[in-house]
Amino acid sequence: MIGNLPLVIVLGATATGKTDFAIALAQALNGEIVGADSRQIYRYMDIGTAKPSKAQRAAVPHHLIDVVDPDATLSLAEYQDQAYAAIADIHARDKLPLLVGGTGQYLTAIEEGWSIPRVPPHPDLRAELEAYARAHGEDALHRRLRELDPEYAARTHPNNVRRVVRALEVCLLSGSTMTEQQRKRPRPFRIYRLGLTMPRTELYERANARVLAMMAQGFLPEVEGLLARGYARTLPAMSGLGYLELCQHLLDGLPLADAIARTQYNTHDFIRRQEVWFKGHDNGILWHNSLELHVDDHITALTRWLKES
């Protein structure tokens, strides 16, 4: 699968301006965008996930957005399959694929060609493991993972119960560890990596402002609509930034101002975790300050790079 098929990756933490930047590149370079965002895959969840607007999607075709309903799951293996299919389709039409997003696992699985375990979810086992974590604590569940797959456990925080549960599920059902099953295949693409960043203080301020803008756009009614459709607050989709906190406001009486403040604080924490992932999986990212971006310069550089193939 090694070849010269070009793939541009635009990545960065939340609120760094990836969407507008990638659209400008795609418009100039005859490109299409493949989403790498684990929240934008869900239908009916538009404002809180900062999906590209209808106008933006009309300007440049987008793939891997609105793929499943909020009560469905899309495994990492399924995402990888669909992303590879979208990229192949874009290449077949002589267009340039741009993989754009901030979900580290999605980006790295595509770039590094992870061989992902095809172990389907097992609801009963997941419920048992989640109950164990509630009864004995997240650290106790993580210790079970360390016993079975110490390498993967070392890369997974105990607080990330969903990932710990998934890793245990794979081990217990397949007899093979997540580490063994996530071996890399040769990358099939020639990759140009663009990372957007900015000083942490400015980024936090921008993230705070974005949360307020989402509220003004109707984020709260969006969450009310999801609950009215019957999507339970316990669904993984509803654990996303803002959705969890606004459910606490609507269902538990948390004051709205507190829900907004919690969303902003949790967004800061999420940004830190995104940056840690990118640092640990940096295969040659060209980092640029979002506050000093000159799109035309990047279009020129990419045009030159494409001619080198």
pLDDT tens across 180-230, in order? 876 767 667 999 999 999 999 999 999 999 999 999 999 999 999 999 999
**C-beta separation of 41 from 49 below 8 A:** no
* φ/ψ (deg, to 5) at 182: -105, 30
Q: Distances in Å between the alpha carbon of 76 and those of 48, 73, 104, 247, 258?
A: 22, 10, 11, 26, 33
Q: What is the pLDDT of residue 120?
A: 81
Q: Report angle CA 111, 117, 120 to the nearest 5 degrees.
A: 125
Q: Where in the chain is the domain with CATH 1.10.20.140?
A: 123-181
Q: Which CATH architecture has domain 123-181?
A: Orthogonal Bundle (1.10)
* Mean pLDDT, rounded, of the chain: 94
pLDDT tens across 96-118, in order? 999 999 999 999 999 988 887 77
Q: Where in the chain is the domain with CATH 3.40.50.300?
A: 5-116+183-307
For residue 48, pLDDT over 90 is answered with: yes
For residue 1, pLDDT over 50 is answered with: no
Q: What is the pLDDT of residue 309?
A: 67
**C-beta separation of 64 from 86 below 8 A:** yes
Given this structure, which CATH class describes domain 5-116+183-307? alpha beta
Q: Can you tell me which residue has the tokens 């891997």?
A: 64
